[in-house]
Amino acid sequence: MAITSRQSFLANQYRYKTAKSDSVKADYPDARVVTMDTQLSLSDAATLATAYLNEFKYSKKSYSVTFDGLLTIDDLKNTVPSFTLTDPTLGVSAKTGKLVSMTLDHASQTTTVVIRVR
């Protein structure tokens, strides 16, 4: 992080960056404001704020799925796994979601994953 004027940077006791979406406020009038305290530069904070807004601005559902077999750490290497979920009883058809959490049961040799889909 290159700061050209450390004195002016430190003179600002608080440094805020806000990412807003009018479409989110229109769809969800009661949407809460999420504040994250960091020690980032203003440009890095803007990047983080935009990334958080893009990730969380739409309502998402989570599903818990248990399957036979155990995932290993190699299955998680270099990427967050994504899953495609189809379950007519849940009214879900070919929805792709990201892994949120994973629980391994070594006794029964099963893996339970929580998948978040839009």
Q: What is the pLDDT confidence band of residue 52, given thresholds at 50, 70 and 90?
A: confident
What's the mean pLDDT in 17-43?
Answer: 76
- Convert the pLDDT of each residue in 57-111 to its tens digit: 776 788 898 999 998 878 888 877 888 888 888 788 888 888 888 999 999 999 9
Window from 13-22, 50-59, 70-79 with minimum mean pLDDT: 13-22
> Closest Cα partner for 55 from 98, 84, 111, 5?
98
| Vertex 18 angle, CA 17 and 23, to 5° | 160
What is the distance of C-alpha 77 from the center of its chain?
A: 18
Domain layout of the chain by residue ranges: 6-56, 61-117
Tokens of 9: 């940077």
Asked if 68 contacts 62 with a C-beta cutoff of 8 angstroms, the reply is no
pTM given for the model: 0.51
Strand partners, 63: 115
